[in-house]
Structure 1
Amino acid sequence: MGLYSNLTDQELSGLLKSGNPTVFAEIYNRYKAVLYLHAYRMIQNREEAKDVVQELFAAIWANHEKLIIKTTLSAYLYGAIRNRILDVIAHQKIVLKYTDTLQSFLEAGESVTDDQIREKELTAIIETEISLMPPKMREVFELSRQQDLSHKQIAAQLNISDKTVKKQVSKAIKLLRLKINLLLTFF
């Protein structure tokens, strides 16, 4: 039994602003498993579910001083994880739509329309953005997204830690998400 294990969620969320790592650890240990299960049920991908939970807690710790919890701690955490999952799903849909459109473009190469020309330009821009990534990030991203390797497989292949792989993939996705959103707005 930890020092803070008998405290209520409300008491813990009140103490979190002080930056006490033990309070944060208590919240993390209390909620990490249920949030992971919730995330996994929604996205059906273990690695993505783990990443979403880790990113949520990292963001909470990074912003603990400014954190405003207007509801219960559990409602706040479930809402935050749901929003992050919806972002992941939206990103996956954009990538799938992009991939499907690109495939259609390649299959229907003989009838080039304005839309297909725009799609080709978009593809070239995205490929350029990938090529401009730092070499290690690009390599990890391509192994993850183009060869569909798990974080563990990539870590073994490149002789780096799972944590490094997760960070590189996360950074690459954030970078591309920003660029894709800007490009989709433009097109």
Structure 2
Amino acid sequence: MSQLGVECISKIREGDATAFQELFYAYKDALFGYACKLCRSTEMAEEAVQEVFMKVWINRQQLDPTLSIRAYLHTAVRHCVFNILKKAALDENLRQSVFRHQPVSVNTTEEAVNAADLQRAKSRVLDMLPPQRKLIFCLSRVEGLSHEEIALRLGISRNTVKDQIVKASRFLRQQLEYLAIWLFFYFII
């Protein structure tokens, strides 16, 4: 890092708004372009860059003048964009906003491969359940048996059936949320 950069960061640490403005104008365009590549949404990219610079100013006393501010800012923007995308993956309105900016796929072969990959991933998640819990869950959700029918078939109590289904559902939901986030990043980046 050049001496000018060290001086600039030192001034920002002391609350020099002019030095902060210099930093902002020196990096804002590059960071915005980087954020756009990550999320493909100008609104989200702008939000990420603004948030990063706001946090830099708020936490300016923690800046280390000896470290690369460029690397720090790029890492901060990447983390911020990923947090925004993670929220979008879990929030329907944000997800629709992000997907609205994606090009429409017309490759049905690619879509079929992606659907098959998703089905395999779902099966792998189901296979992660303990055998008895997987059996109970499949009897309930795939075969449509009631708790009582499962209990009679397996010789266990209805409460055990209910408990196992609740635990399986919770586990699968957590794993599929993780999978949804992963797929979201996979397809968007």
Which TM-score applies when normalising by structure 1? 0.47
Which TM-score applies when normalising by structure 2? 0.46
Higher relative contact order (CA 8 A, sep 6+): 2
